[in-house]
Amino acid sequence: MTGGRSSSEAGTQSSGAATGGGRGGSGAGSAGGAGRDPLAFLADEIEELKRASLYRPMRVLSSPQAAEVVVDGKELINLSSNNYLGLATHPRLVKVALETTRDFGVGSGAVRTIAGDMSIHEKLEAELAEFKHVEAVLTFQSGFTANTGVIPVVTGENDLIVSDALNHASIIDGMRMSKAPRVVYPHKDIAGLRELLRTAREKGRVDAGGAPYRLILVVTDGVFSMDGDIAPLPEIVAAAEEFGAAVMVDDAHASGVLGKNGRGTVDHFDLHGRVHIQVGTMSKAMGVLGGYVAGSRALRDMLTQRARPFLFSTSHPPAVAAACLEAIHVLLEQPELIDHLWANTIYFKGELRRLGFDAGVSETPITPVMMGDSAMAQRFSARLFDEGVFAQAVVFPTVALDRARIRTIVTAEHSTEQLDRCLAAFVKVGRELGLVQA
């Protein structure tokens, strides 16, 4: 039941499809041939990607992650990180990480359920639960593994997952790992969502003579990671409640950004107690690394028994957990960081639009500058690089083929002077490449 899948989601699911790949070419025909590299098709596929402007070279930072960075040896203003609040280099987090490393070493040495559950992991989860106003939290190695961990645990063949068309790749992978069928509603389309929920309730399970689903789970990003728009969570919750469904929100880009002290979209919309599963990340605004699932005590307990990334992958180094804990304290004690982030966001987005750029539907610090095709996006990004601005192009399969863009994120650390230098570079390159009027 995957009908109605968006081009974006379909794209995310088959990265080789757009270019035809190299498999049909010289590489695969000689499978089994002696003396030939059996992985030779990879080089062919890479050439295809490069020809289609879809190959993304990695830029190497030789400085800390900050408002100004050294990338491939060049000093640039950084518009490409998720380090919204500058916590990646915050002195308090660095100090705690160093002290914890000295006291507890660099690694945890085991998965949580064997011998890798340290007091700092438990302390972090207890404080996160309090911060999020939920019963319990379980942390994962990343936001990605939080999603791929939780979805197959709470859903199975008797259930239905209802997913926004632009949900993050880790949600898509989590759904693929679940035995539950899924249906996709058009991005933020509440009428479409309600229709799917109504049908699911009326028809029940087609494979089981119309028996009712055990669980219908509506899943959405809180802030959509490529367009920077916010999910209409009050309407989603209302629809879910009407049809007896549960709601899961992935707040990776809302953690530390939206809600009081950065508690996320549930707090932003005052929906405490009405969203059953909240996923968050500690890798973005919190500046460190990790993901978590926040919800009921039973949810946490079940995840400790069944979530595969939790059971079969080593827990965070103690310094990582300690730095995440300190990040919560900084969110609570320095709310001015979030205020500054939003002041910069409003300024930068407003100026970009005033200058004639298409910032799409963004309403958060994630501001895409729409380019259309991949070649333009890559060229624009390369020219910004020359002009001293680090702003990466995002192309297929991260976004749909015809939705290539430069994705910018301002942080609390940027000065107005830095943002003005970025805007000047955007105007210069935009005129040069004919994207805005001269």
Ligand X SMILES: *Cc1c(COP(=O)(O)O)cnc(C)c1O
Is 315 one of the catalytic residues? no
Scan residues 46-85 and list those touching ligand X (CB under 6 A). none
| Minimum separation from the CB atom of position 134 to ligand X (A) | 18
Q: Does 281 bind ligand X (CB under 6 A)?
A: yes
* Alpha-carbon gap, residue 60 to 394, rounded angstroms: 17
Least spacing, CB of residue 273 vs ligand X, in Å: 23
Quote the tokens at residue 276. 């059953």
Intra-chain end-to-end CA distance of the chain, in Å? 49
265 lies in the binding site for ligand X (CB under 6 A): no
Is residue 253 among the annotated active site residues? yes
Tell me how far apart the alpha carbons of residues 90 and 411 are, in angstroms, rounded to a whole number: 13
Residues 17, 52 contacting (CB under 8 angstroms): no
Alpha carbons 291 and 316: distance in angstroms, whole number: 11
d(CA 177, CA 170): 11
Smallest distance, Å, CB 322 to ligand X? 17
Q: Which of 90, 188, 268, 284 is catalytic?
A: 284
Residues linked to residue 136 through DSSP beta bridges, in sequence order: 295
Strand 277-281 to 291-295 pairing:
antiparallel
Helical segments of 358-415, H only: 374-386
What backbone phi and psi angles, to 5 degrees, belong to 159?
-115, 175
Instruction: By CB under 6 A, name the one of 143, 317, 318, 365 that touches ligand X.
Output: 143
Nearest Cα to 399, choosing from 360, 341, 342? 360
Opening angle at CA 381, ends 378 and 386, nearest 5:
125
* CB 278, min distance to ligand X, A: 12
| Interaction between residue 291 and ligand X (CB under 6 A) | yes
CB of 255 to ligand X, least distance (A): 9
3-state helix, strand, coil in the chain (%, to 5): 45, 15, 40
- Note whether 144 binds ligand X by CB under 6 A: yes
**Binding segment toward ligand X, per CB under 6 A, in 66-74, 248-256, 302-310, 338-346:** 248-256
Tell the smallest beta-carbon distance from residue 328 to ligand X (Å).
Answer: 16
Q: In the bound complex, which residue of the shown chain has the CB atom lying closest to ligand X?
A: 143
Residue with tokens 């070419």: 25
Using alpha carbons, select from 302, 256, 299, 247 the residue that is nearest to residue 280.
256
State yes or no: is 225 an active-site residue.
yes
Among 129, 252, 286, 327, binds ligand X (CB under 6 A): 252
- Return the residue of 108, 178, 225, 411 that touches ligand X, per CB under 6 A: 225
Tell me if residue 77 falls in helix, strand or coil.
strand
User: Which of 223/427 has CB closer to ligand X?
Assistant: 223
Q: Given the residues 121, 253, 340, 349, select the one marked as catalytic.
A: 253
Residues in contact with ligand X, shown as a per-residue x/- string from 113 to 142 under the rule CB under 6 A: -----------------------------x
Which listed range, 250-258, 261-269, 342-350, 353-361, lies at the site for ligand X (CB under 6 A)? 250-258
Q: Does 148 bind ligand X (CB under 6 A)?
A: no
Catalytic positions, written as ranges: 225, 253, 284
Chain residues that interact with ligand X, rule: CB under 6 A: 142-144, 147, 168, 170, 221, 225, 250, 252-253, 281, 283, 291
